[in-house]
Amino acid sequence: MRENAEALRAEILDKLKALGADCAGVAAVDALRNGPSERLFPNMKDHSRDHFAEEITTGLPHGAVYWEADAKSVIVFAVAHPASRPELDWWCGEIDPPGNKRLLSVSRQFKAWMAEAHPDISVHPKRYHVERGGVYLKETALAAGLGCIGRNNLLVTPEFGPRVRLRAMTISAELPSTGPIEFDPCADCDAPCIAHCPQQAFSEVIYTPEETGLDHLPGRDGRYYRASCAEQMKRNEDEAKLGMMPEVCDHPEKIIKYCRNCELLCRVGREN
């Protein structure tokens, strides 16, 4: 039975790569229930209910993850967003960045392929926002062995550093997990990623293990302040200039280039 599950897992991961994923892995749903992010939410401070979490469509408490009744494993994959291809992360007005489109396209094609190849297994592509049915993607990727959560509060992969975007799908088949892995490039690093944050979002510890009962906190030791980071992103929106992105839109729109200092300054997996 286990051999079958391993063969299915290999087939699934190969397919995802053939469809355009740059890395992919599997985690068990049970290993992800009630993880640190989900547990932090009830203790979050002034910034817990920012506009990223306004619309809750799962009917669950704020920050809680919705798991489908038949979900046994989560498949998580990444599309690399190298510094040399910044446009993958640019919003064209309200239009999704090309990188997001690629993630969606991989999910859709994968679901269609599974319906043909394994009609007995259900596949549920997860939404981006947790409040609308998504999962905590970094914790999922960590459990699936795609990398570690770095001091910049991002998933850092051995191949591409933090310069990836993630997506997940739950499936009804029980597959062996591909992670976690032993990997910690932050241990001996002087952390340029957090030193050069334009909002100094990592300058002060705002969550402690004592206060939250958690060992794993934003920015590892509780020093990532979401409100400052969101302030920078709001500034990026306000400063966006009209431009053209012919591959996604045929008229000029405001091109929003969100700050990526904490990913671009990380030395892991850089192209040069």
Closer CB to ligand B12, residue 113 or residue 183?
A: 183
Produce one character per residue of 71-93: b if its CB has 16 or more CB atoms within 10 Å, e if not: bbbbbbbbbbbbeeeeebbbbbe
Which range of residues in 1-9, 12-20, 183-191, 229-237 is near ligand B12 by CB under 6 A? 229-237
Query: What backbone phi and psi angles, to 5 degrees, belong to 124?
Result: -120, 100
Which range of residues in 19-27, 36-44, 67-75, 181-189 is near ligand B12 by CB under 6 A? 36-44
Closer CB to ligand B12, residue 13 or residue 206?
A: 206
Closer CB to ligand B12, residue 8 or residue 67?
A: 67
Distance CA 183, CA 157 (A): 9
Alpha helices in the chain (DSSP H): 2-19, 29-32, 36-40, 98-117, 137-143, 192-195, 209-212, 226-238, 261-264
Q: Which of residues 84-113 bind ligand B12 (CB under 6 A)?
A: 89
Closer CB to ligand B12, residue 121 or residue 158?
A: 158
CA-to-CA separations, 236 to 163, 232, 233, 247, 257, in angstroms, rounded: 19, 6, 5, 22, 6
Per-residue contact track with ligand B12, 149 to 188, x per CB under 6 A? x--xxxx------x-xxx----------------------
Out of 169, 263, 266, 269, which residue is the one contacting ligand B12 (CB under 6 A)? 263
Q: Is 142 in the site for ligand B12 (CB under 6 A)?
A: yes
Crossing angle between the packed helical segments 98-117 and 2-19, to the nearest 10 degrees:
140
Distance CA 193, CA 260 (A): 9
State the nearest-atom distance from the C-beta of 89 to ligand B12, in Å.
6
Distance CA 60, CA 80 (A): 32
Q: Is 258 in the site for ligand B12 (CB under 6 A)?
A: yes
Q: Which of residues 109-128 bind ligand B12 (CB under 6 A)?
A: 128
State the nearest-atom distance from the C-beta of 131 to ligand B12, in Å.
9
**Amino acid in position 258:** Y
What does the binding site for ligand B12 look like in residue numbers (CB under 6 A)? 35-37, 40, 52, 89, 128-130, 134, 136-139, 142, 149, 152-155, 162, 164-166, 214, 216-218, 220, 224, 226, 229-230, 233, 258, 260, 262-263
